[in-house]
Amino acid sequence: MFRIRFHGRGGQGIKTASRILGTAFFMAGYEVQDAPRYGAERRGAPLFAYVRADKSPVNERGIISQPDLVVVADDTLVGMPAAGVMQGVDQHTVLLINSQEKAETWSQRLNTPATIIILTATETVGEDAEASDDAREAAIDRAELPYIGSSCAAAAAALTNVISRDVFVDALTEELKPLGENIVKKNMDIALAAFAAMSQHVGIVSESSLPSAKEYIKPEWIKLPFEEAKISAPAIHAGVTSVKVRTGLWRTMRPVIDYERCSGCWWICSTYCPDGAINVTDEGLPDIDYDHCKGCLICVAQCPPQAIESIAEHVAKHREMSAASTTGGVHDT
Amino acid sequence: MTRRLLTGNSAAAWGARLAQVDYVPAFPITPQTEIIEDLSLWIDRGEMDARMVTLESEHSMITAAGSAASSGVRVFTATSSQGLLYGMEMVYTVAGWRAPFVMINVSRGLSSPITLESDHNDIMAARDSGFLQIHCATCQEITDSVLMSYRLAEHKEIRLPAIVNQDGFYLSFTREPVSLPDADRAAAFVGEFDPENLQFKSGAPLSQAMAVLGGGPYSYFRYQAHLAVERALSVYDEIADEFADTFGRRYDMIDSYMMDDAEYVLVMMGSFATKARDAVDSLRQAGWKVGLARIRLFRPLPQQKIRQLLSGRRAVAVIDQNISMGMGGILHSEIAMALYGINDAPGLLASYIGGLGGRDIRQQEFFEMISELKQASDTGDRLQPRLLYTKNELTEIRNLQAIAQAEHVEIKQAERKKK
C-alpha cells in the first residue's frame, strides 16, 4: 500500500492536492482513500491530508503514522512540532519539500535518514544557466499560491511511478473542472512542470506492508491513575495560554503599518482586531504583534487613511532579511 | 456499475437524493455540514426536486422533520454531536409521534472538553429514544443504509424514524470508492411513502397533538413503540435480502468476518471495524483463530443473533468507542446482557474502551487485545476493563499540565501584585 501525507496551511490547496492524487491513483486502477485532517483552524493554520492507495480494498483508516512519502507545501511547517511533519518519518520515507533551500541543508538540519527531495527548481532550474525564462517562471509559480497544491500532487504522482502523465492530466481536470477552464489550464501547466521536474526521482517512493501480528511492538498501555479534580478538570486559563500559542504562524498575508500615513487615531485598527494583536504604544501609535496576528486583514480594510498595507508573508520575510543584511544585521542563509 | 470516490458525507447526500426525499430541514455542524451543502447545491441546480429549509437550531430542525413526516412527505435530515444533543428533546418526541424519516448522525465526541473528532457517545445518547439505529463502516454502506432505512422506517408495522450513523472524519471527510445505485432502481427499491393515517396538513383544520396521559395509557404507547422497534428485527432481513438481490451487496444485522471457526472474537461498531478486519487477517496469518462481529443494527439490538454468533467462543473482546461514566462500555454491557444465562456463553467477555475523540486504535492494539484474551483464557484470569491509553499519551498530557501549572503560578503572582 502507498501511504502519502501532504502537509501545508489552510488555503494552500492541500485537501485539493490529496484529492487530485487520490483520483489519479483511482484512475490508474488502485483502490483509494483520501482525506483531509483539520480542526477548528482557519486559513493559514497548519493542516494535513493523506492518500492511501492499494491494489486491494483499503481497510486501514485514520492518520498515516508510517508514511512512504511526505509532501511539504510550506517549509516553515517542518520545524513546527505541532504540524507533525516528521511524524513516523524513517529511512524508508521520502520527504518532498517545497523550499528554496537545498536537500543537503534540510538533511543536516533535520538529522533524518529519510531521502529528501526539493520540489522547487532551486537545484534544477534555478542554478541552470540554460533554463528558459518560462521554466524559471514556472519553477517560481509552482512554489507559490494558489498552484502549490497541484504541484505537490503532480510531483507525488511522478515519484510513485504508477501514475502516468496522461492519467494525472485526467485526474487534475476532473478535480478542478468545477473551477473553470482557465484555472484548470494554469494549474495544469504548472503541475506538469512539477511532474517533469521529478524525472530523476521517478519511482523513488515504494509501497510498504501492513503491520504484522507475527512480530509487532507491544503498545505501551498503562493503567491511567486517578487524579484529583484540581489536576484532571480540563480548564483553560485563557490569558497565558493565548500568549504561549504563536498563532502568528498561521499568517499567509501580513498587514504592515505605514507610520507616515497613519493618522495616529490608534483605536480603529486595535479595536477591530479580533485577536487583540494590535497594541498601542506610549506614543499612541498602533503596533502589530506579529507573534499573534493571524493575517485576517480586517485592520487593512478598516483603517480610514489606508495606512495598512497587506503583503504576502514570504515577501515580507524576504524584505526583513534584505533589510537585516543592508543594515549589517546577521542572518542565517 | 461505475464507481466513484465519495466522502461519507457525499455518500449520505446521495442516499437522500436517490431516495427522492421531499423535504430537508437543516442546520450546520461540523463534521456534518457537507451533507446539506451537497443537497442544497443539487436542489439549487434543479438536479433534485426537494425543498430545503435551514432552521434556527437542531431542536427546530428535528421538530420540522417530524412534523413534515407526519404530513406524509419523505424527510431527510442530518446532525452531529452537540447538535443531536441540542435536539434531544425532539428526538424522543418525534419518535413518539411515530413519524418515519431518516436522519444521518455524523458521530463526534461530546463536550467537555471539546473535540471535532469521532466517538459514539453522541449516538448512544439517542439509544433509548425509539429511533432505529444503523451503524456504518464504509462510505458505500452509508448510501446503501439510507435507502434501506427508508424501507425500515416507513414499513407499516414499524413507522418510526431511523438514524444512520457514520463516524466523523474517518468516514465523513474520507473519500472511498462508492458504487452509486442506479437512480430508477433505487427509487423502485425504496418505493412510495404510504403515510396511511398520518395526515397533519396545514391546509386542513386539524392539529396534531399529544394528550397528557396517566401511567396506564402512557405505558401502552411507550410499549407499542418498543414493540415496533423490536418488529424491525423480522422486517430487516426481508429488506436486506431484497437489497442484495437488487444491488448485489448484502448487509446483515451483524457483519461477521472469519467467524466460522473463530475462538477469539472482536465485537465493535463503526468504521474502525475495517481496521479490525486487517488485524484479523494478520492474526490469522500468524496462526490465531480470530473473528470479527460488527454490530450494524444497534436498535433494535439483534440479541438472538448475538447469542448464536458468540456462544461457544473461547473469549470475546468488546471494543467500545463510548464511555458511560461510572459504568464503562455501553456495547460491552449490552453484549453481556444478551449472553447472560446461556449455557455455552464465551468463557471471557473483556471490555476495551478506546477511540474516543478520534483517538486511533492501532493494529498493534488489536493484536495485543487478542494476546491478552488468550493469556487470560489459558490462566483463567479475569480481565479488568481497559481504558486504552499509552505511556506516550500520558507524557503528552503531563506536558500540557506543566504549562497549566506554570499559568496557574503566573496568574497567582499577577493577583498578588494587584493587591
Taken as a whole, chain B contains a residue count of 419
> Cα–Cα distance between A236 and A22 in angstroms, integer?
39
Question: In terms of domains, do B52 and B156 share one?
Answer: yes
* Chain B CB within 8 Å of residue A238 CB: no
Amino acid A327: pLDDT: 58
pLDDT digits (tens, 9 = 90+) for A143-191: 556 788 999 999 999 999 999 999 999 999 999 999 999 999 989 998 9
- The answer to whether B95 and B130 are in contact (CB under 8 A) is yes
Number of domains in chain B: 2
In chain A, residues with a C-beta closer than 8 Å to the C-beta of B286 are 212-214
Nearest CA in chain B to A231: B401
Q: Which CATH class is domain A248-326?
A: alpha beta
What CATH number has the domain bearing residue B209?
3.40.50.970
Tell whether B395 is covered by a domain.
no
Amino acid A332: pLDDT: 40
DSSP string, B132-200: EEEE-SSHHHHHHHHHHHHHHHH-TTT---EEEEEETTTTTT-EEEEEPPPHHHHHHHH-----TT---
Residues 6+ apart with CB under 8 A from A77: A7, A8, A9, A46, A83, A85
Question: Are B113 and A37 an interchain contact pair (Cβ–Cβ within 8 Å)?
Answer: no
Q: C-alpha dihedral over A266, A269, A275, A276, to 10 degrees?
A: 10
Interface test with A, best of B169, B319, B392 (most A CBs within 10 A): B169
Q: What would the mean pLDDT of B275-289 be, rounded to a whole number?
A: 98
A125-139, B285-299, B349-363: which range is least confident on average? Answer: A125-139
Tell whether B147 is covered by a domain.
yes
Nearest CA in chain A to B117: A39
What CATH number has the domain bearing residue B338?
3.40.50.920
Question: In terms of domains, do B165 and B93 share one?
Answer: yes
C-alpha distance from residue A303 to each of A183, A279, A293 (Å): 33, 15, 16
Q: Helix H segments across chain A?
A: 14-27, 103-110, 133-142, 148-160, 165-176, 181-197, 229-232, 238-244, 267-272, 298-302, 313-326
Amino acid A221: pLDDT: 98
Choose between B297 and A237: higher pLDDT.
B297
Q: Which domain holds residue B327?
A: 254-388
Nearest CA in chain B to A244: B403
Amino acid A143: pLDDT: 55
- The answer to whether B262 and B311 are in contact (CB under 8 A) is no
Question: In terms of domains, do B284 and B223 share one?
Answer: no
Q: What would the mean pLDDT of A111-116 be, rounded to a whole number?
A: 95
pLDDT at A45 over 50: yes
Q: Which of B170, B285, B367 sits opposite A61 (nearest CB)?
A: B170
Choose between B54 and A143: higher pLDDT.
B54
pLDDT band at A329 (very low <50, low <70, confident <90, very high): very low
B53 phi, psi to nearest 5 deg? -125, 130
pTM for the whole thing? 0.91
Q: Indicate the residue among B204, B219, B247 that finishes a domain.
A: B247
Domain ranges of chain A: 2-201, 248-326
Q: Indicate the residue among B224, B247, B270 that finishes a domain.
A: B247
B51–chain A nearest CA distance, Å: 24
Tell whether B407 is covered by a domain.
no
In chain B, residues with a C-beta closer than 8 Å to the C-beta of A64 are none
**What ipTM goes with this model?**
0.94
pLDDT digits (tens, 9 = 90+) for A268-279: 999 999 989 999
pLDDT at A331 over 50: no
Q: What would the mean pLDDT of A209-220 be, rounded to a whole number?
A: 93
Tell whether B399 is covered by a domain.
no
Question: Are B407 and A217 an interchain contact pair (Cβ–Cβ within 8 Å)?
Answer: no
pLDDT band at B207 (very low <50, low <70, confident <90, very high): low
Tell whether B163 is covered by a domain.
yes
Q: What would the mean pLDDT of B211-232 be, rounded to a whole number?
A: 94
Note which residues in 102-161 of chain A have CB less than 8 A from chain B: none
Amino acid A147: pLDDT: 83
> Cα–Cα distance between B371 and B366 in angstroms, integer?
9
Question: In terms of domains, do B23 and B161 share one?
Answer: yes
% residues pLDDT > 70 (chain B): 98
- The answer to whether A58 and A52 are in contact (CB under 8 A) is yes
> Cα–Cα distance between B38 and B25 in angstroms, integer?
14
Radius of gyration of chain A from its Cα atoms, rounded to whole angstroms: 23
Q: Which CATH architecture has domain A2-201?
A: 3-Layer(aba) Sandwich (3.40)
Q: Is A22 exposed, middle or buried (0-12, 13-18, 19+ CB in 10 A)?
A: buried
Closest CA to B253 of B295, B306, B291: B295
What is the Cβ-side half-sphere exposure of residue B408, based on CA atoms within 13 angstroms? Answer: 10
In chain B, residues with a C-beta closer than 8 Å to the C-beta of A212 are 282, 285-286
Question: In terms of domains, do B230 and B285 share one?
Answer: no
Sign of CA dihedral A223, A228, A232, A233: positive
* Chain B CB within 8 Å of residue A62 CB: yes
pLDDT at B1 over 70: no
Amino acid B33: pLDDT: 94
pLDDT digits (tens, 9 = 90+) for B369-395: 999 999 999 999 999 999 999 999 999
Q: What would the mean pLDDT of B255-284 be, rounded to a whole number?
A: 98
Question: In terms of domains, do B274 and B162 share one?
Answer: no
- The answer to whether B57 and B86 are in contact (CB under 8 A) is yes
User: Mean pLDDT over all residues of chain A?
Assistant: 87
Question: In terms of domains, do B324 and B258 share one?
Answer: yes
Question: In terms of domains, do B21 and B71 share one?
Answer: yes
pLDDT at A123 over 60: no
Amino acid A323: pLDDT: 81
Question: In terms of domains, do B200 and B273 share one?
Answer: no
Q: Which of B112, B274, B282 sits opposite A212 (nearest CB)?
A: B282
Give bridge partners of residue B53 from the DSSP assignment: B25
pLDDT band at A330 (very low <50, low <70, confident <90, very high): very low
Question: In terms of domains, do B101 and B216 share one?
Answer: yes
B391–chain A nearest CA distance, Å: 6
pLDDT band at A322 (very low <50, low <70, confident <90, very high): confident
Question: In terms of domains, do B13 and B38 share one?
Answer: yes
Amino acid B209: pLDDT: 67
Question: In terms of domains, do B143 and B274 share one?
Answer: no
> Cα–Cα distance between A72 and A228 in angstroms, integer?
42
Tell whether B225 is covered by a domain.
yes
